[in-house]
């Protein structure tokens, strides 16, 4: 984000001088703020994800619960995306504001109930890799 901010300020300065640099910095700061605080909501809305309750998707909640317990993480919000392509991802700025989204195609995947044990699901990959900070 720092590199993008510097790039915005340099382009703003080249186009509008000192005032252009100031406006570009304000725009970049606003963009960074929105991206940090609302990126999870933005990506979930982009995919049309719908939050589900434990009674609506008990198997999914069980799998996410097992993964969060193994990783010593709090239970994230769980979302389903209406899409036939098998996919799942975790998003959020930290574990306390995390969300897990799974496509409906993933539930039709032949080894749905066992796949989470193979690849540790999106929680293990995203939280441990550092793409979601603790």
> Which pTM does this prediction carry?
0.70
47-129: what fold?
Zincin-like (3.30.2010)
pLDDT in tens, 83-134: 988 888 999 988 889 999 999 886 654 444 545 544 445 554 444 444 444 4
What does DSSP say about strands 99-103 and 88-91: parallel, antiparallel, or unpaired? antiparallel
- pLDDT value for 114: 47
102: its two tokens = 């799974």
Radius of gyration (C-alpha) of the chain in whole angstroms: 19
Residue with tokens 């993964």: 67
> Sheet holding 88-91: strands in order across?
50-51, 77-81, 99-103, 88-91
User: CA 112: distance to chain centroid?
Assistant: 21
The domain limits of the chain are 1-38, 47-129
């Amino acid at each position: 984000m720092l590199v993008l901010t510097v790039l915005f300020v340099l382009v703003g300065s080249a186009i509008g001088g000192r005032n252009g640099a100031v406006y570009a910095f304000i725009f970049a700061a606003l963009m960074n703020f929105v991206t940090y605080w609302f990126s999870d909501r933005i990506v979930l809305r982009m995919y049309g994800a719908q939050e589900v309750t434990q009674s609506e998707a008990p198997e999914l909640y069980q799998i996410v619960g097992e993964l969060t317990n193994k990783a010593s993480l709090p239970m994230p919000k769980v979302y389903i995306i209406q899409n036939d392509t098998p996919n799942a991802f975790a998003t959020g700025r930290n574990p306390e504001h995390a969300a897990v989204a799974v496509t409906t195609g993933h539930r039709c995947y032949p080894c749905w109930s066992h796949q989470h044990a193979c690849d540790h699901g999106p929680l293990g990959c995203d939280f441990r890799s550092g793409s979601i900070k603790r």
